[in-house]
Amino acid sequence: MTPVRRRNTLCIVITLALGGGVSAILPAQTPAPRRNIDSLLARMTLEEKFGQLNLPSVDNRPSAEQLELLRKGLVGGFLNLTGAAATRETQRVAVTESRLGIPLLLGYDVIHGYRTTFPIPLAEASTWDPAAVEATAHAAAREAAAAGVNWTFAPMVDVARDPRWGRISEGAGEDPYLGSVLAAARVHGFQGADLRAPDAVMATAKHFAAYGGAEGGRDYNTVDVSERTLREIYLPPFRAAVEAGAGSIMTSFNEIAGTPSHANRWLVTALLRGEWKFSGLVVSDWTGVEELRGHGVAGSRADAGKLALETGVDMDMVSRIYVDDLPALVRAGRIPVATVDAAVRRVLAAKAALGLFDDPYHGATVEREQAVLLAPEHRKLAREVAREAIVLLRNEAALLPLTSARHTVAVIGPLADDKSAALGSWPGHGDPRDAITPLEGIRARAGEGTKVVYAKGCGITDSAAAGIADAVALARGADIAVLVLGEAGDMSGEAASRSTLGLPGVQEQLLEAVQGTGTPVVLVVMSGRPLAVAWAAEHVPAIVQAWQLGVETGHALADVLFGDVSPSGKLPVTVPRSVGQVPIYYNHKNTGRPPSAEKYTSKYIDLPVSPLFPFGYGLSYTSFEYKDLKLSAPSITPNGKLRVSVTVTNTGAREGAEVAQLYLHDEVASVTRPVRALAGFQRVPLKAGESRTVDFEVGAKQLGLYDQNMKFTVEPGRVRVFVGGSSVGGLEAEFEVRR
């Protein structure tokens, strides 16, 4: 692929669980001198100070009431205000009609594209390609900034081990290492080398923290995890985003062990600002401050605001509690002025870092907006990344790629020609009319010698099976049937949890009926989460996990189905056999009674404990061999480094890309360790017959753990090394850590 901009993201230092502080500042720009911010702060009334902490939402444009608040200096920014004309006019009001002329932060959820909709983040994680992820974030920032947005509420870096949780679609999956690498890549893509640049937006790592650990996979639900699990699993991607220079952090809706995040001083003040030395802006989630009352830790709006502000939440999104209810508390001596001033300084520093005091419009113009939205190079990038995101799960008897011998291709299913579903959840300003559906892509690629016929078969959530008969008849007359099944775009994302993980409605019935015709079947699964397709894995010869790939869905899918590109995607999540296995993840603990044939071991009596498809798994149209696993030394000191090398060979007849993965296991430690933990990966493009030596470096970051006193340390002992194409199997070696 040829992304808009490529950097060696794999060389970014990722801290997975290190203790000690880091200096996290907005990258590569000189903030406004402190005296300038202090001077501005000294001129503010108390109401104007709280105005800077007020972040309301608009509906297309600010209302008359909101504009009046703006003129009074009672608004620090808006969310959901987009479009160069609207944003420029609103910024003009802020800088010319308010007393102090302070420009606005303008935030928007640019999750996987602004107008050009790229694959959902979970799909992008399937590329295992940090440079590609950085490139799409940069393209999205370029479009958003041209439209006047200067702040994105992304990346979402929540680790998700439960696919019932709808927001799994917005993140990088279940692994803290992969999530950390991609979190850093997205931050660099959004913010670039200079936040003042007209193609940069300030990034927000969200949701802080452990939002993905919601009980029952139910959005907004309680989270109850240990500090160890927090530090080892849920916090590393946030740490990586902070180290990459993320300008802001968003607190999460959930509680952790009885304390809601918006009121969690240990999380926001002690850990984020103290231990990690984060100096940026902390923003609440939508009405998150008000919801402290719903959690039952605040009895009034004022109490909720006091809790959140003293916790370190700088901006109040939508609730209006800070600006309406807190000035009276300051005057009554219940909130120190210094607490307010500290939050205001961080807001002003963010605006200065973006260069808004010099150019409040951040380079946005109507002409520039029209020139960059859905630019040809962005669509090209979307297609390239979507191809990399597709995961081939099954391909019996080499049914794929499709050949010219298949004269009639039946394309069947409710998602085969659904433009909205292709975009997925949170499509930004993406327009379904821009999307290429699987049917359109297959028709465009098939050529004159191949007849493509289509039947919907059923709706996505239909309970009636009336259309299945037509689909079966169509399949009987075809040489091959491509069934495109799965979820609508709004069946994942926020407030879209599911209690089951099967194909919705009567889609399973449609699949079984078409498979029963004897016509070879290719199942294409379009979804925002991994689906438990156990019947298909046993009966359907070819299965392609296509996720929701954005505007270029159809072209990218056709590129893979017809073999123009060999699939190279790898699963960033474990695919369960049944919802009853959830939560299921590869880096689990062994327990004292690991599963075996013995009765009294950790297993089910009615289902294997193994997944349907494991983390890191994905097939290709070619084959790869791993050999010559070598370690640079038989032992290292706790502060030493070890080089792991392996030779990867393309043993097939065509070129392809393999993702070589390194896993570690600490055999004996003072605390229990996962059976495997991802410690490195590299995409390796290889021509037919080509070999390449891949090197990984192992050091304290990968070997360290939190001991029983929650101190990060590297303990002596034996460490097993696994290198291969997934989290299962691979070549093995071992070394020792010695004092």
List active site positions: 285
Q: Which helix (H) or strand (E) holds 100?
A: none
Phi-psi region of 588 (alpha: psi -120 to 50; beta: other; left: phi over 0): beta
Alpha-helical segments (H) within 617-664 = none
Which residue in this structure is represented by tokens 């062994």? Answer: 590
Q: Report whether 706 contacts 232 (CB < 8 A).
A: yes
Q: Which two tokens stand for residue 129?
A: 């390609």
Q: How many residues does the chain have?
A: 739
Q: Report whether 156 contacts 109 (CB < 8 A).
A: no
Q: Which two tokens stand for residue 154?
A: 């992304």
First to last CA, the chain: 45
Distance, in Å, from the CA atom of 177 to the CA atom of 291, rounded to the nearest integer, reads 32
- 3-class DSSP state of 151: strand
Q: Which helix (H) or strand (E) holds 631?
A: strand 624-631
Using alpha carbons only, give the angle 175, 312, 61 rounded to the nearest 5 degrees. Answer: 85
Distance, in Å, from the CA atom of 697 to the CA atom of 719, rounded to the nearest integer, reads 14
Bridge partners of 108, per DSSP, are 152
Q: Which two tokens stand for residue 643?
A: 């080089």
Contacts (Cβ under 8 Å, ≥6 apart) of 162: 168, 212, 213, 214, 217, 582, 583
Distance, in Å, from the CA atom of 427 to the CA atom of 110, rounded to the nearest integer, reads 8
Report phi then psi at 128, rounded to 5.
50, 40
Alpha carbons within 13 angstroms on the beta-carbon side of residue 345 total 17
* Bond before 583 cis per omega within 30 degrees: yes
Report phi then psi at 143, rounded to 5.
-70, -45
Strands (DSSP E) along 112-242, which ranges?
A: 151-152, 204-208
| Burial of 59: CB neighbours in 10 Å, binned 0-12, 13-18, 19+ | exposed
Smallest CA-to-CA distance from 139 within 123, 152, 125, 127 is with: 152
Which residue in this structure is represented by tokens 């340390």? Answer: 713
Give me Rg for the CA atoms of the chain.
26
